[in-house]
Amino acid sequence: MYEKVVLTFIFVFLLIISYSIFMGTLDIRSYFFPHLKSPTLEPAPCSPDPPLRVYMYDLPRRFNVEMITHRTASESPVTVKDWPPWPDNWGLKKQHSVEYWMMGSLLHEGEDGESREAVRVFDPEFADAFFVPFFSSLSFNSHGHTMTDPATEIDRQLQVDVMEFLTKSKYWQRSRGRDHIFPMTHPNAFRFLRNQVNDTIQVVVDFGRYPKGMSNLNKDVVSPYVHVVDSFTDDEPEDPYEARSTLLFFRGRTFRKDEGIVRAKLTKILSGYSDVHYERSVATGENIKASSKGMRSSKFCLHPAGDTPSSCRLFDAIVSHCVPVIVSDQIELPFEDQIDYSQFSLFFSFKEALQPGYMIDHLRKFPKQKWTEMWRQLKNNSHHYEFQYPPKRGDAVNMLWRQIKHKLPEVTLSIHRSRRLKIPDWWHRR
Ligand SMILES: *[C@@H]1O[C@H](CO)[C@@H](O)[C@H](O)[C@H]1NC(C)=O
Ligand SMILES: *[C@@H]1O[C@H](CO)[C@@H](O)[C@H](O)[C@H]1NC(C)=O
């Protein structure tokens, strides 16, 4: 009798235990292996953000790499195996090659555990965003550069074909392209049909030429230009301040449109100083070398507005570790939610810069120790401005993907609102 009771007791006890394990209320693993944490219950303490999942459309090569390789037309999209290198001798064309490096970063398969901001997904249902691999800047540079020659028709036709392709896609239709990414760094990229991609996420270098309805900071991403001078990799002098003998350096065209008027005026204001190098020149291969030499031997590098508020010169200065002096009232800078430019750059308004003596006086009095700190910050941050294949952690392409990730909540908000609005968006009319 007594034994029966004990047996029943044990039986019931076992039943409760196995039920608890089955229902998940009791975690025996943590009983017996307290140091083994169940991976599904708690995230690792510093798990990196999950990468952005990007779907890349399969476009024939004439929309992208064929402009580089000039091989015969192939309808099949480029693969990682036949991804061409960026041509070494293309000089200035490189400054607008952001589209090429972004596409390469999606093709590159990468290794496990490699920290990446974006990965390619092959099923659009799983995508956070959609990448359109059309080299719109290179298309302008290769086909339409003079704006009037017959080749410009090729540029226009490519734009028409891309839009025809996209507007048939259900993923385009469901958001009117709001979650679609278009690299458009050249100010004339996609110039014929730009107003058909108003809602998309555009990768631009500034907002100089376009109305707010087409391009703005709420949805678009500011990219650096791809620098054209070589990066200064062995910049290790004992006294970097003394090693750079020129106070202020500028080399470039001095007659530009729009905001660029300031350049002509600066020519006057900055003449007559022995430690200021202010030189008119046009960019050529030889001149790129001379600019690089000049920037590496100067403490400050002037970045006045040109035709547009930004230019490649700023990023050439950064990778030469020459403290940028930015004179542009309307510049927007890349990655500014992650990088504080005041730690390694100086800013002057037009008004200040055009006051005779004001800027030079300020630069001459700038404390050596503070300058050295800025130089150090430049060295520490310049990898964020490197475009390369394969991409590396924290480089320009990964920074761009991260920026796009930051825009997505705003994009989703806009998609959801657009689905229920019965009238044109009333915010735009305020
Ligand atoms: C795109 O934006 C521009 C400027 O805001 C506007 O003039 C144009 O009508 C827009 N295009 C479309 C298709 O909505
Ligand atoms: C440079 O970056 C490293 C880590 O990337 C950091 O430890 C160091 O403090 C930085 N130096 C400066 C001067 O900010």
Q: Give the count of domains, the chain.
A: 3
Is residue 418 domain-resident?
Answer: no
- Are 359 and 375 in the same domain? yes
- Read off the pLDDT of residues 316-370 as tens digits, 9 standing for 90 and up: 999 999 999 999 888 899 999 999 999 999 999 989 999 999 999 999 999 999 9
210 neighbors 217 (Cβ within 8 angstroms): no
Task: Kindly give the distance from the C-alpha atom of residue 332 to the centroid of ligand 2, in angstroms, as a whole number.
Answer: 25
Task: Kindly give the distance from the C-alpha atom of residue 212 to the centroid of ligand 1, in angstroms, as a whole number.
Answer: 9
State the pLDDT at residue 49: 77
State the pLDDT at residue 376: 97
183 neighbors 136 (Cβ within 8 angstroms): yes
State the pLDDT at residue 267: 85
Is residue 88 domain-resident?
Answer: yes
- Which residue's CA lies nearest to atom 5 of ligand 2? 380
- Are 81 and 217 in the same domain? yes
Mean pLDDT of 380-384: 97
Mean pLDDT of 392-408: 95
Crossing angle of helices 312-319 and 285-296, rounded to 10°: 50
State the pLDDT at residue 13: 60
Q: What percent of the chain has pLDDT over 70?
A: 85
Note the pTM of the prediction, 2 decimals.
Answer: 0.85
CA distance 302 to 360: 11
> What confidence tier does 305 reach under pLDDT thresholds 50, 70, 90?
confident
Whether the pLDDT of residue 40 is over 80: the answer is: no
Task: Kindly give the distance from the C-alpha atom of residue 376 to the centroid of ligand 2, in angstroms, as a whole number.
Answer: 9
Q: Which domain holds residue 68?
A: 52-222
Count the neighbouring beta carbons within 10 Å of the beta carbon of residue 25: 8
The three-class DSSP label of residue 391 is coil
Residue 343 Cβ < 6 Å to ligand 2:
no
- Are 57 and 156 in the same domain? yes
Helices (H), 208-357: 240-243, 261-269, 285-296, 312-319, 350-353
The three-class DSSP label of residue 222 is strand
Q: Is 216 exposed, middle or buried (0-12, 13-18, 19+ CB in 10 A)?
A: middle
CA distance 185 to 37: 47
- Residue type at position 67: M
Peptide bond into 45 cis (omega under 30): no
Is residue 417 domain-resident?
Answer: no
Separation in Å, CA 14 to CA 7, 24, 33: 11, 15, 21
Nearest bound ligand to the CA of residue 343: 2
- Which residue's CA lies nearest to atom 9 of ligand 1? 195
**Which protein residues are within 6 Å of ligand 1, measured from CB?**
195-196, 198, 211, 213-214
- Are 289 and 177 in the same domain? no
- Are 81 and 215 in the same domain? yes
Residue in 342, 344, 380 to alter for ligand 2 test, most ligand atoms within 8 A of Cβ:
380
Residue in 182, 198, 199, 414 to alter for ligand 1 test, most ligand atoms within 8 A of Cβ:
198
- Read off the pLDDT of residues 165-183 as tens digits, 9 standing for 90 and up: 999 999 999 999 999 999 9
- Are 112 and 21 in the same domain? no
| Range with the poorest average pLDDT among 35-49, 72-86, 132-146, 232-246 | 35-49
186 neighbors 96 (Cβ within 8 angstroms): yes
Find where tokens 């294949």 sit. Answer: 389
Sequence-distant (6+) residues with CB within 8 A of 190 are 136, 159, 182, 184, 197
- Which residue's CA lies nearest to atom 4 of ligand 1? 213
pLDDT, mean over the chain: 86
Please state the atom number of ligand 1 nearest to the C-alpha of residue 213: 5
Nearest bound ligand to the CA of residue 344: 2
Is residue 278 domain-resident?
Answer: yes
Sequence-distant (6+) residues with CB within 8 A of 235 are 296, 321, 379
Nearest bound ligand to the CA of residue 373: 2
